[in-house]
Structure 1
Amino acid sequence: MAVIVCLVRDRRSAELAQVRSASEAAQRALLRPLPRRLGSLDLSCTYLAAAKEARIGGDLYAVARTGDRTRVLIGDVRGKGLSAVGEAAALMAAFQEVAHQHATLPAVASALDRSMCRYLTQFPDDEALEHFITALLLEVPDHGSVARLTHCGHPPPLLISRGQVTSVPSFPAPPLGMCTFEQDVRTSHTFSFEAGDVLLLYTDGLVEARDSRGAFYPLEERLAQWTKCSPETLIERIQRDLHAHTNGALHDDAAILAVRRTATPHAGRLGSEGRPMADQKLC
């Protein structure tokens, strides 16, 4: 009996390892590693999946260079786990195309909305109405001290500037893929984003994570303690602190992306995986 139990356990462990390996490969294909430096930005990100066996879900992020500016997308597909992967992949693929084809963020958002509506037509009518994606679109020119934001039903980003943490004001519009709203309801908001400032973009799995008493993760309060951190160190601290807050039990996917503006656009050879040859932590 002991031998049989060991054989069954070993086989299940091997099957689980295969599932994890396949899901990690899929996640690397969908969420390709972002460069640490792009244009006038330093970047760092992480993805935390609620479905630990799958290690992949419906939260997403992507970046695109167009002319002398960088555009950033972060989004959250309704639902979690493998059922949301297809919609996340469709949106990221559409973003890489339309980010280069439109002059303004509202136009990019409208194009993404049309693309997702076309994608959702493959679902039965009763299911399509339940599918949508909240998203934020960010645009940062290489020169100047401003950035632009288009809000599609997503949690607003937090700005760390001169030791203070504030929520970036925006004008919410419907999520992508609702297919029942006029396209011209989407607008962009311009705000100050100076050299040294850091923007934290995230999905609601971060701020809705609860501890054993049911208290939400106090993101803004935590950021106030880490205002001098580099993007990479900031992400590392949030990830460790979130794990401690939830005791390792995350009930929704969470994507986190930190963006710091530099004084001048980066120019230099990237190392492996699209990363620079060297990087410094400033926290």
Structure 2
Amino acid sequence: MTIGLQRRLATRGAAPPGTDAGEAVVHAPRVGNLALFGGLALLTALVVLLDLRTGEDLRLVPLLVVVPALVSVFGTIRQTVGVSTLIMIVVVGSHLAYGGTFWDVTTGVIVTVLACCLGVGACALRIRHATQIARLRSAAGALQRQILRPLPILTDQILAHGIYTPIEEDRLVGGDIYEVVQSPYGTRVIIGDVQGKGLAAIGAGFAVLGAFREAAIREPALTGVVDALEDAVARHNVFSAQTGETERFVTALVLGFDGSDQVEAVNCGHLSPRLLHDGAARAVPLGHTSVPLGLAELSREARAAEWLDFPPGATLLICTDGVTEARDASGAFYPLDARLGRWAERPPYEVLEALNADLDSFSGGVRRDDIAALALRRTASGGAGRPLHSGHGARRAAETFSGR
């Protein structure tokens, strides 16, 4: 199943087919005209009756000028104009009926008209702002779908479930990245964490993902894929320097699956994977860890690949430091290895569900960094060359494979 980002997107709702995002806001469910004007009529009648009883000692009808401002918070422009017109007629009529000096009546009428016009203007500005926000979110959603592939993903070699949670609620994309690519040489997987946050970090992450999607299919050796990623980050940093932006580096773990009982790995300053097998969970030590992408010129050693055991039925968990560096109220770090042992017998999607819920409980719902995690399990077949599947089709295949 898909959690994390998929759940966030689902809770935001979607516009009907063929409907612009801004139109979706304007045409969102709202208070009905009958309920609105019926309630307004009762309120107006009540205020007028009380005003008649209090007489000139306490004028209540002029207080109705606040009603258009209240309606502008939740109503449409048409509803606000209708309410403002009704209130204007009642309040201005009240001023004329009670009489008074010329300036008293004139001032009351002017204040009423201005209050009603301000209510209509506030409603128009609110809808305009909501429309702009909806369009921005729609564009961000489209950007997210281009940057990060929906989960789960099923290839010939592995089934990949995952969670992705940006630190900010209104951001659909953060500094963490992942990708799964079916290639002629097996399945290639990357998970990474871009230094920093914001749009600049997203740009560096997109540069890495674009290079990975191309190099994973083109390069026979996994180290060749990583060299292409290094070049992409270096080029991105040159461009960033020219435009006055901060240069970035990217920690990454790149894996290669060929259907055997082992996994090829190249670690570029990233966290070690965790292996869940036979009811136990343990960190998989990596003998060679290179510098992050973008910092190759600081090291004299070339990046090297190593092989990790990946027996049938095992789950390989890879994640970013948003998981291991989550803190509780006392400042203690999240004990990932101790918690994974509790879920070692569960299927991959249940491990991720438990991990996501436990992180929320441990941190009290306060996240300090983006979180990305992939749970990888071997498929029954070991062939290569079949295109990968993702999204709803992969979800059905994943449920079948997982025995759901």
**Considering the TM-score relative to the shorter chain, is it more than 0.5?**
yes
- Match for residue 199 of structure 1 among 316, 329, 347: 316
- Name which structure has the greater RCO, CA cutoff 8 Å, separation 6+: 1
**Partner in structure 1 of residue 257 of structure 2:** 140
Tell me which moved more, 105-114 or 33-42.
33-42
- Structure 2: unaligned runs, 5 residues or longer: 1-65, 74-121
TM-score by length of 1: 0.88
Any idea what SS the aligned residue of 1:56 has? coil
Cα shift readout 1:202-234 (whole Å, capped 9, x = no counterpart): 011111111111111111111100011211111
List aligned pairs for 1:185-264, cutoff 5 A. Answer: 185-264=302-381
Secondary structure of the residue that 1:44 maps to in structure 2? strand
1:79 aligns to what? 196
Residue 112 of structure 1, CA deviation: 0.9
Which deviates more, 1-10 or 249-258?
A: 1-10
Paired positions, count: 282
Cα deviation digits, residues 88-146 of structure 1 (max 9, x gap):
1111010011112222222211121012101211122797774100000001112x211
Residue equivalent to 1:174: 291
Which runs of 4 or more aligned residues in structure 1 lie more than 6 Å from their structure 2 counterparts after TM superposition? Answer: 125-129, 266-269
Q: Which residue identity does 1:223 align to in structure 2?
A: L
Residue 119, structure 1, aligned to residue 226, structure 2: no
Q: Secondary structure at the match of 1:118?
A: helix
Name stretches of at least 5 consecutive residues in structure 1 with no aligned partner. none
Mark the CA change 1:121 to 1:25 in structure 2 (over 3 Å): closer, same or farther.
Answer: same
1:67 to 178, 181, 184: 184
- CA separation in 2, counterparts of 1:228 and 1:53? 35
Give 1:150's aligned residue: 266
How many angstroms apart in 2 are the aligned matches of 1:101 and 1:271?
21
Is 1:27 aligned to 2:136, yes or no? no
2-structure distance, mates of 1:269, 1:123: 33
Change (3 A) 1:20 1:215: farther
Contact 1:19 1:53 in 2 (8 A): no
Over the matched positions of the two proteins, sequence identity in percent amounts to: 34
Alignment partners' CA distance in 1, 2:198 and 2:365? 17
CA distance in 2, matches of 1:126, 1:179: 22
User: Aligned partners of 1:201 and 1:237: how far apart in 2?
Assistant: 15
Indicate the SS of the match to 2:225. helix
Q: Distance in 1 between matches of 2:389 and 2:218?
A: 26
Larger Rg belongs to: 2
Corresponding residue for residue 162 of structure 1: 278
Pair 1:274–1:87, CA change in 2 (3 A):
farther
- CA deviations on 1:25-69 (whole Å, 9 max, x unpaired) are 321221021443211212101110012111211110001112251
Return 36-45 or 197-206, whichever deviates more: 36-45
